[in-house]
Chain A
Amino acid sequence: DTGVSQDPRHKITKRGQNVTFRCDPISEHNRLYWYRQTLGQGPEFLTYFQNEAQLEKSRLLSDRFSAERPKGSFSTLEIQRTEQGDSAMYLCASSPLGDEQFFGPGTRLTVL
């Protein structure tokens, strides 16, 4: 068990470009969560999946944000037409059907 992994760890992009981040949860964890963390703040919930079903997506920040978990294993978070305000750390967490969440190291996005 290697824990939750995220790729890439850092991403620098130009405004207007699309970016995609990947999260590999702990195997056999049914639930997968995405959060955004900006400097000096706690993580902010974006969306979550139970297996391949996206159970909550109303907290995604805009329609430029989308997430998928096509086979109930890894997940991707895509941001289209990035803006400077999207610069943040994007965190993924996974959980068995219970309350403890295990976090990955995050992907730091910088939009120039």
Chain B
Amino acid sequence: GNSVTQMEGPVTLSEEAFLTINCTYTATGYPSLFWYVQYPGEGLQLLLKATKADDKGSNKGFEATYRKETTSFHLEKGSVQVSDSAVYFCALSPPGNQFYFGTGTSLTVIP
């Protein structure tokens, strides 16, 4: 079956610290992988995606690489800002199909 396991939170970091949020998955076939972000009071927004093995998705300084051998899609950012405080969701989707989400990781960045 399809599922996503995401690093538990909450995570608290100081501004300019390095961020890693771990995500591993199980899937049938060849899914696409996504990171969505949910800012306080707002809806889910796509942060980045990767559609095949070894692809790297990147956006706003965040990166994640689709690792088929380790079934992982870890989210990283070299230097977080206060404005990055949000809940981050890892998700997978067989092509054209529903999304399977992780439980979310809450990130708080303090000045």
Contact = CB atoms under 8 A, between A and B. Distances in A.
Interface stretch (B13-21, B45-53, B70-78): B45-53
A42 B43 contact: no
Interface in A62-106: 91, 93, 95, 97-106
Nearest to A99: B32
A48 interface: yes
Nearest to A89: B43
B43 A43 contact: no
Nearest to B41: A105
Contacts of B34: 100
A98 B93 CA distance: 10
A31 interface: yes
Interface in B68-104: 89, 91, 93, 95-96, 98-104
Contacts of A41: 103-104
Contacts of B99: 33, 35, 43, 45, 93, 101
B43 A106 contact: yes
A31 to B, nearest CB: 7
Contact of B104 (A40, A93, A100, A103): A40
Contact of B43 (A31, A48, A104): A104
Interface of A: 4, 31, 33, 35, 40-45, 48, 56, 59, 91, 93, 95, 97-106
Interface of B: 4, 6, 32, 34, 36, 42-46, 49, 51, 89, 91, 93, 95-96, 98-104
